[in-house]
């Protein structure tokens, strides 16, 4: 077994795994030496088998990749004890504030986030392109980069105040409107990691309720042209 220590979302995590790949994935978050940890993750054979069962054609994936999924599932579960949850989305930081784009798979949230980077240049920084962590604290929400940042590996080890969440849908023309949290609540629940533990699931819903009081919400109808980024940026920057 291979062991390493990592700091993710301000928590020290000890990871013990069968394969080296998860440690390579998390290398930018490594903490050197042996330290006390907040979260202790050790992968078992049953965890990998569980990922095979969960994934469509899971038996075709390399076990190292399945172990990476198992590790993050354990991390996401334990992070809930620290008021932190995983949400699928692509996050861009501009002028020290984070904007998250979420959508159904294949809609183009990663593409839209990249359009922001194309539009704004060095002013825009990718926080995470797939599976960021969000902590809800006293009167604020903070989004964290994580090693699990999508197939294009776009993201950074950073923490940024979360200003807004935007749900994307496809359209030939671009339009955006600010909506109430109630309009997007069911979508938020679909996009977050939901643990099997009943107590932690209740905690997750509570954190979502707190999040809705701290950030703004938008629905963007957009094409995949840079004009879509102009539309959303001008509206969301406030």
Radius of gyration of the chain (CA): 18
DSSP line for 36-47:
--SEEEE--HHH
The 8-class DSSP code of residue 83 comes to: T
- Whole-structure pTM value: 0.93
The two beta strands, 133-137 and 140-144, are antiparallel
Tokens of 167: 């749900």
Share the mean pLDDT of the chain: 93
Q: What's the length of the chain?
A: 238
Given this model, what pLDDT does residue 1 score? Answer: 93
Nearest to 190 by CA among 87, 113, 55: 87
**In the structure, what pLDDT confidence band is assigned to residue 57 with cuts at 50, 70 and 90?**
low
Q: Give whole-number Cα distances, 236 to 127, 164, 214, 225, in Å.
A: 17, 7, 15, 18
Nearest to 161 by CA among 96, 220, 217: 96
Mean pLDDT of 181-200: 90
Comparing 2-6, 52-56, 68-72, 194-198, the range with the smallest average pLDDT is: 52-56
Can you list the domains of the chain with their CATH numbers? 2-82 (no CATH), 84-236 (3.90.228.20)
- pLDDT exceeds 80 at position 139: yes
- pLDDT exceeds 60 at position 54: yes
- Which SS3 state, helix, strand or coil, does residue 9 take? coil
Share of the chain above pLDDT 90, in %: 80
Question: Which residues in the chain belong to E strands, given as ranges?
Answer: 2-8, 11-17, 39-42, 84-86, 90-94, 97-102, 124-128, 133-137, 140-144, 159-170, 175-179, 216-222
Comparing 60-64, 142-146, 147-151, 229-233, the range with the smallest average pLDDT is: 60-64
Q: Give whole-number Cα distances, 200 to 69, 105, 193, 205, 209, in Å.
A: 19, 25, 11, 9, 14
Nearest to 113 by CA among 69, 62, 154: 154
Given this model, what pLDDT does residue 62 score? Answer: 86
Residue 182: CB atoms within 10 Å? 9
């Amino acid at each position: 077994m291979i062991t390493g220590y990592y700091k993710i979302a301000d928590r020290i995590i000890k990871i013990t795994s069968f394969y080296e790949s998860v440690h390579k994935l998390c290398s930018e978050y490594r903490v050197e030496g042996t330290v006390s940890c907040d979260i202790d993750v050790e992968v078992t054979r049953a965890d990998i088998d569980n990922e095979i069962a969960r994934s469509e054609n899971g038996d075709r994936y390399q076990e190292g990749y399945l172990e990476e999924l198992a590790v993050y599932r354990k991390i996401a579960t334990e992070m809930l004890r620290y008021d932190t949850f995983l949400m699928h989305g692509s996050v861009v930081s501009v002028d020290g504030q984070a904007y998250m784009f979420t959508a159904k798979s294949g809609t183009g949230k990663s593409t839209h986030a990249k359009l922001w980077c194309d539009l704004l240049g060095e002013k825009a920084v990718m926080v995470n392109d797939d599976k960021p962590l969000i902590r809800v604290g006293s009167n604020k929400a903070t989004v964290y980069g994580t090693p699990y940042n999508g197939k294009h590996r776009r993201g950074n080890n950073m923490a940024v105040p979360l200003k807004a969440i935007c749900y994307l849908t496809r359209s030939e023309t671009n339009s955006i409107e600010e909506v109430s949290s109630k309009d997007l609540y069911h979508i938020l629940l679909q996009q977050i990691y939901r643990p099997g533990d009943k107590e932690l699931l209740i905690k997750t819903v509570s954190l979502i309720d707190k999040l809705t009081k701290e950030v703004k919400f938008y629905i963007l109808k957009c094409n995949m042209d840079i004009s879509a980024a102009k539309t959303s940026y001008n509206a969301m920057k406030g």
